[in-house]
Amino acid sequence: MISAWDCLHFATLELVRSTPIKQRIVAAYRQYLSQIPDEQLPLEIRDGYTRILQTLRGVQPLRGEDEVTASVRKMSGSEADACAAQIVAMFAQLCRAQVAQGRPAAEVVMLHAPETELDGPMQQELLQQEFEIPASIARA
């Protein structure tokens, strides 16, 4: 089963092809958007997804065409652009939601162990060597 993220990702890729925008929208719906499992979408995205589906299935088809083809055929160029933009925006929103959900807490990693055995001048010399700027990049 393909995930909602994959479906929206591939639909977005379909929308950037060089064919006319209406053909891209129909292809994105048929191949990817129609396969999105609703339960995989976060609640804040489901409403937008439902609105897009209603837009793409809202027109009574003529003989020999399906409702998606009829709905997209009736769209103006700017309506088709807006529909495509909504699909891309929904993908971006899903990406942000997944990043926010899955982002682990930052872990602190110690790069150098503290030198506890060395005191005084020996420790100062090591610190200077560790943070010394090479002469080739030092400013004059």
Contact 80, 68 (CB under 8 A): no
Asked whether the beta carbons of 83 and 60 are under 8 A apart, the reply is no
Residues 93-125: b if buried by 16+ CB within 10 A, e if exposed: bbeebeeeeeeeeeeeeeeeeeeeeeeeeeeee
pLDDT at 101: 73
DSSP H helical ranges for the chain: 4-15, 21-31, 43-56, 67-74, 77-102, 120-130
- Polymer length of the chain: 140
Q: Determine the Cα–Cα distance for residues 114 and 134; give it in Å rounded to an integer.
A: 23
pLDDT attached to residue 99: 79
pLDDT, position 119:
58
Q: How many domains does the chain have?
A: 1
Distance between CA atoms of 90 and 21, rounded to whole angstroms?
Answer: 18
Please state the pTM of the whole predicted model.
0.69
pLDDT of residue 107: 59
pLDDT along the chain (140 residues), means of 10: 88 94 96 90 89 92 92 94 95 86 59 58 60 58
pLDDT at 54: 93
The boundaries of the domain holding residue 19 are: 4-102
